[in-house]
Amino acid sequence: MFVGTPADAIHHPSGDLVKVSVGSATGYHTFSDGSSFALTRWQLGVTEPGSSGSGLFVLSPDRTTYEVRGGLLGGDTSCTNLRGTDYYSRLDTAMPLLAQYLTPNAGTATAAVPVVEFYNASLDDYFVTASPSEMADLDNGVHAGWIRTGYRFLGYANVATAPAGASPVCRFYVQPAFGDSHFYSADPQECAATQTKFPTQWVHESAAVFYMLLPDKTTGACPANSHPVYRFLNKANGLHHRYTAEVDLRDVLIDIKTWTQEGYGNPPAQVVMCTPDN
């Protein structure tokens, strides 16, 4: 939104009946974690506790419909501070990351495909796959006990659709006698070292289950138009791993102190591979 763009908020302050606040965008604010939020100021009405999460709407260019642009994070407007400022999330920056959840069967601008996470309670283990046939088998109970967690990230199905510099992701199967789990790496050197270290205990299932970009091995920084995938090792058995691109989940796994983060760079931003933004 441009500065001065008229904007309306529809919300339920303090659980009251629905209210409409009328105002305009005043700019953007970037927080210390790099997140950017739209700033608004009201000419009519305010927001109050209970309004959080409500939508910010602007009129479409053809003036026929209203378009949602974000949700209320917070601010200092109130009945005693009518000219305060409110902070709204930016759907324009979030949409590339949300699209894979909102339209999971649609293609992506980069020809990326979803890498979907599953969980098995009896094994207390996680598994990710980009293979539609493996997803179907797990969904249909061919391999019993697996359910989708709702988490995913994007990868590339083959080298033809992957960008230059993308690396094949190897997959090892840890045989039941040694833990019954899977291990993934986008680093060819780590793949080779793993095969050497566990020549019989771990079955090298594939040299390329999908393709991913690699981070800088010193800083952990991802290339442009991509963001980190984090890997964690379960301290309980020193074997099961979990992979996620979600910062909130990363922070939870760190806080509960039952997982060890692995990867390049420095905690909490150690990175093992990079997923495309869209």
User: Do residues 123 and 176 lie in contact, with contact meaning Cβ atoms separated by under 8 Å?
Assistant: no
pLDDT in tens, 39-75: 999 999 999 988 999 999 999 888 899 999 999 999 9
Domain span(s) for CATH 2.40.10.10 in the chain: 6-89
Q: How confident is the model at residue 240, as a pLDDT?
A: 96
* pTM listed for this prediction: 0.72
Quick check: helix, strand or coil at residue 94?
Answer: helix
pLDDT in tens, 243-265: 999 999 999 999 999 999 999 99
| CATH H superfamily, domain 6-89 | Trypsin-like serine proteases (2.40.10.10)
Burial of 249 (0-12, 13-18, 19+ CB in 10 A): middle
pLDDT in tens, 69-123: 999 999 999 888 999 999 999 998 888 777 767 776 665 666 899 999 999 999 9
pLDDT in tens, 189-232: 999 999 999 999 999 999 999 999 999 999 999 999 999 999 99
Alpha helices by DSSP H, listed for 103-221, are: 132-139, 188-197
